[in-house]
Amino acid sequence: MTNAQAAAISKSQADVVSSMTNVYFAAQHTLASSLVPDLNRLCVLQGATQLNDLRVDSHTSYEHSSSVSEFKNCMADVLRSDLLQKIQTSCKYSIMIDESTDISLKQNVVTYVRLLETDEFGMAELQRANAESIYENVVNLLGRKGIDIQHLSEILLKLKTWRTC
């Protein structure tokens, strides 16, 4: 009886993990959550048998919109927690703040955090904090990394013109 119970729990966990994988896939590709049941059925048609038993009973299914929403919220909590831990332990990060007013005239502020997990790409001390020094530093860094600056967006080119001011 214990073995049968363990097997049932293991099978149920495999069902939920597979369904959560599809929820995550849908979120990554900005697909509607309502497509998750169809995505699960597609996987079953292709032989993913672990998705066969997502229905718990006649009223409960791990494909219901509330289950999909709960899966998404749990994943978001884990990702936020991981990011917060990385920020707290990082020696270098920056923030960018953007204020906006939405259609109902409610004012909002969004804070973006950029995190440097390693210094491998490029951190360098500037001799002077002016446009010319920044330009030279960025061009040299990209050159050392073998990156062609001809494919760089306008920002560096604007910085180049500012250095002559």
**What does the domain layout of the chain look like in residue ranges?**
2-81, 121-165
Query: What does the pLDDT look like over 4-37, one tens digit per residue?
Result: 556 555 667 777 788 888 889 998 899 998 898 8
Compute φ and ψ for 102, nearest 5 degrees: -85, 180
Closest of 13, 19, 15, 23 to residue 76, by C-alpha = 23
**In the predicted structure, residue 165 carries a pLDDT above the cut 70:** no
Band of pLDDT at residue 159, cut at 50, 70 and 90: low
60-76 average pLDDT score: 81
Which of 43-57, 67-81, 126-140 shows the lowest mean pLDDT across its residues? 43-57
**In the predicted structure, residue 154 carries a pLDDT above the cut 50:** yes
Mean pLDDT, the chain, as a whole number?
Answer: 78
pLDDT at res. 164: 46
Cα–Cα separations (whole angstroms), residue 38 to 63, 70, 111: 9, 18, 36
The count of other CB atoms within 10 Å of the CB of residue 65 is 12
Closest of 90, 16, 91 to residue 51, by C-alpha = 16
**In the predicted structure, residue 40 carries a pLDDT above the cut 60:** yes
Q: Which residues contact 131 (CB under 8 A, 6 or more apart)?
A: 159, 162, 163, 165
Q: Rounded to an integer, what distance in angstroms lies between the CA atom of residue 88 and that of residue 90? A: 6
Greater model confidence, 161 or 109: 109
Band of pLDDT at residue 56, cut at 50, 70 and 90: low
pLDDT at res. 61: 65
Contact assessment for residue 112 and residue 83, using Cβ atoms and an 8 Å cutoff: no
